[in-house]
Amino acid sequence: MATTSHGLTYDGCNFFRQRLVLSTISGKRLKIKNIRSKDDNPGLRDFEASFIRLLDKVTNGTRIEINQTGTVLSYQPGLLYGGSVEHECNPLRSIGYYLEALLMLAPFMKNSLKITLKGVTNDLTDPSVDLLKFTAIPLMKRFGIDGEGMDIKVVKRGMAPNGGGEVVFTCPVRRTIRPVQLTDPGKIKRIRGMAFSVRVSPQMANRVVESARSILNKFIPDIYIYTDHMKGISSGKSPGFGLTLVAETVNGCFLSAELCSTPKGQGDPMLPEDLGRSCAKLLLEEIYRGGCVDSSNQSLALLFMTLGQQDVSKTLVGPLTPYTIEFLRNIRDFFQIMFKMETQKPLDGERKGGDKTLMTCVGVGYSNINKSIS
């Protein structure tokens, strides 16, 4: 990374989305060079170009320049505008890939966002829309981002590779983010889940539920996993099934895991029983890692801590993911914020899982200047 009077310059396509999101919020110009310049097929991929088009739709006055080979991107962010938007997501990445970024941007727009995203709702690469609905929305409420119209609604479900799903995300705007003290997750009080199936027998989802319960019933009695079988036009264009599990603690923290079947024609097919058991074990691993925020939402929590009012925020998380570690570096570049990190080991005799990390920072006091004055 190099800082110049023209903004920040990075080399390569890694963490492309993070950098564009932070550039958009901070208002700092961004240049990314040598995007796959040594590849046989150099330049931006279709899903990255689709992501840039999405940013252009939710902002006003953004200037984007891409060279002929697609290996250099110059990005001058405009004002976050919001309003009613539609976007066709590239099927190489799920709607979750685009939605993760929108969750970070939506509170800071001029107008409340209502966006319809079309494409793949569940795949093996990105967090699904279900997981983000069950975990990211409650987390955002902790930072004061709540109220009328905060929702992620799955209208149509679409599996990879052909998609056909449709999701509506609505989010109110906020002028400021409140600091948080999320230091005690508390014990797990219940597990909830959703097993879905599209263009296969509804019995598939039931088999997934039974196999997941066979693992989880050994640990906690309060388990409820409902089934969602969409038919006809609501079931997308490809067959598949999957499971999303969420463990809720007594202090209102959410830890999650999910798994879905392999896309038709790609790899070995997965039995619903194997999928259910594997997903249950993934949830137990997430519970072992612990913390007040699960692995998939670490970067969202750290961003809102950074943007909070000029006060101390603390959040206890499990081991930092490689994605989160790079996100911290990018936060330092764009906002000059460094986090204090303290490792917390389980006390002797206590069964509280692995080592945790207490993340502490003082917010930059970010204020949403885009917000309409009502």
Give the pLDDT of residue 374. Answer: 45
Q: Which whole number is the average pLDDT over 120-124?
A: 94
CATH class of 82-175: alpha beta
pLDDT tens for 125-139 read 999 999 999 999 999
Q: Does the pLDDT of residue 350 top 60, yes or no?
A: no
Q: Which amino acid is at 27?
A: G
Q: Which whole number is the average pLDDT over 210-229?
A: 96
CATH number of 1-78: 3.30.1370
Q: Which of 234-243, 301-310, 338-347 bottoms out in mean pLDDT, i.e. has the lowest?
A: 338-347
- How does DSSP assign 199-249, residue by residue? SS-THHHHHHHHHHHHHHTTT-S-EEEEEEEE-GGGG-SS-EEEEEEEEEE
Q: Which of 71-80, 252-261, 338-347 bottoms out in mean pLDDT, i.e. has the lowest?
A: 338-347
Q: Does the pLDDT of residue 349 top 70, yes or no?
A: no
Going by C-alpha positions, the residue among 7, 258, 282 that lies closest to residue 135 is: 258
Q: Does the pLDDT of residue 184 top 90, yes or no?
A: yes
Give the pLDDT of residue 345. Answer: 85
Domain ranges of the chain: 1-78, 82-175, 188-289, 292-367
Quote the CA–CA distance of 360 and 146 in Å, as a whole number. 23
Q: Which whole number is the average pLDDT over 77-90?
A: 96
The more confidently predicted of residues 4 and 56 is 56
Does the fold of domain 82-175 match that of domain 1-78?
A: no
Give the domain 188-289 fold. Answer: Dihydrodipicolinate Reductase; domain 2 (3.30.360)
